Amino acid sequence: MVAAAASATVATGAALTAVLAGAGTSAADPVSLTLNYSCPFPLIGTQTLQIVISADIPTTVNVGEPTPAFTVTAVATVPPTATQGLTLVGAATVEGSAKASSTVTAPEATIPVTVPATIPVTPVPASGSFDTVATGDAPSLTFTQAGQATITVGDILLTLHPKRADGTDTGLGVFDSQCTQVAGQNNTLANITINGGTTTEPTTTEPTTTEPTTTEPTTTEPTTTEPTTTEPTTTEPTTTEPTTSEPSTTEPTTTTSNPPTGIDYSYTLEGDSVVKKLNATVPLSGGIDANLDLASGNFTADLSLEPSKLKATLFHFIPITAKVAFEQEGKTTGTLAGGVLNSTSHTTIKLPSVKVFGFPISKSPKCQSSEPSEINLTSGPGFDPLAGGDLSGTYEIAPLENCGPLTGLISPLATGPGNTIDVTLSPKES
């Protein structure tokens, strides 16, 4: 997902640098550069993207001659982890935009440039890695001084927009990722020789223009050099570009912090549970704070349920009411894979007050199930960790204990298998 954008972005960066390189009048030579980028993303944390940039860039150009535009191609390999992150939120495609920074070091100036690019709609496979391809056309440029020019590729700012198959947004919405080039790489895309105009007119021009090579260093050089020193003003298109790229010089600093290994989510919980023996419905409310690692699909969570009440009619005429409390034993654990969430919680069920016909038959705060109930919940397909969703499952209640003299009477009323639970998770407002 992320990589899709990254590739397009790098393509942009490549296009930019290629642009500044110029195409000249000589034959263009194919060049290729492979770079790794560290890109922070929601859900999956920081990922390393490999991007291959290729273009046909001339090895030589002439001073004062505009370069024709040419095409730059960038291919990014999206890692399986990024694919998993996309599929988990239901993304079928990803698109967006990118801003790539590049630097052209030429005799007249060192010019940082930021170039925007569009990331085309790219399908997301069900699993595994996939490639995204981006192309861009480099604009024309004119060099004003002879010498050597070097083109280097810099960092990338991605703006990504994953979408579902029906074109609607996923829970990710639109987000930015500042990708920083992994240190220690050779990021030179091309080296270009810039020939001076006099090199193409060796004999006939020297007498008429009084530019012999012997006089240039001494008396004539000042006069011939002055036009050259003023000509950089003709390269204002490149000197004005640094102002557009200055923000990109500070952007890499935003990537100095390391994203968490897991993503924290907080949900409110609403629903109910039906105790089979009593055919009684117990309202449920509470919350859950989860840490989800979408790279593996595993999560751990802290579940809390508010005290509730049970109302039932025994033998169709005996009213029973009870206070119900829940004590969580350890962490809730589970997986989110293939768009389906599965969770397991261990909960001790407490009945601190039980009444029949309004008269208390147990007021023991220690009245509870003798063993925690294992509650397994499963979502339907397409569960979105950012939007929440519905979960359901069944569980068993172990025999009750510590309910006073009438424990033997109370316990059979609630214990047994086949109890159901249905809840809805909704993201907490930040």
d(C-alpha 4, C-alpha 413), whole Å? 58
Helix (H, G, I), strand (E, B) or coil at 315: coil
d(C-alpha 86, C-alpha 65), whole Å? 47
pLDDT, tens only, 281-312: 999 999 999 988 766 778 999 999 999 999 98
Helix (H, G, I), strand (E, B) or coil at 16: helix
Task: Report the sign of the C-alpha dihedral through residues 279, 347, 265, 285, in that order.
Answer: positive
Residues of the chain with pLDDT under 70: 1-28, 67-70, 115, 136-140, 197-262, 294-295, 430
Residue 190, Cβ density class (10 Å: 0-12 exposed, 13-18 middle, ≥19 buried):
buried
d(C-alpha 382, C-alpha 339), whole Å? 4
pLDDT, tens only, 86-134: 887 888 999 887 777 888 898 988 888 776 777 889 999 988 888 877 7
Give the residues across from 137 on adjacent strands: 71
Do the beta carbons of residue 410 and residue 354 sit within 8 Å? Answer: yes
The predicted structure's pLDDT at residue 28: 66
The predicted structure's pLDDT at residue 18: 34
Give the residues across from 32 on adjacent strands: 54
- Output the DSSP codes for 242-291: HHHHHHHHHGGGGG-SPPPSSEEEEEEEEEEEEETTTTEEEEEEEEEEEE
The predicted structure's pLDDT at residue 182: 95
At a CB cut-off of 8 Å and minimum separation 6, what does 4 contact?
76, 78, 94, 95, 119, 122, 124, 132, 160
pTM of the model: 0.59
Angle between helices 80-88 and 2-21 (to 10 degrees): 130
| 3-state helix vs strand vs coil in the chain, percent to 5 | 20, 50, 30
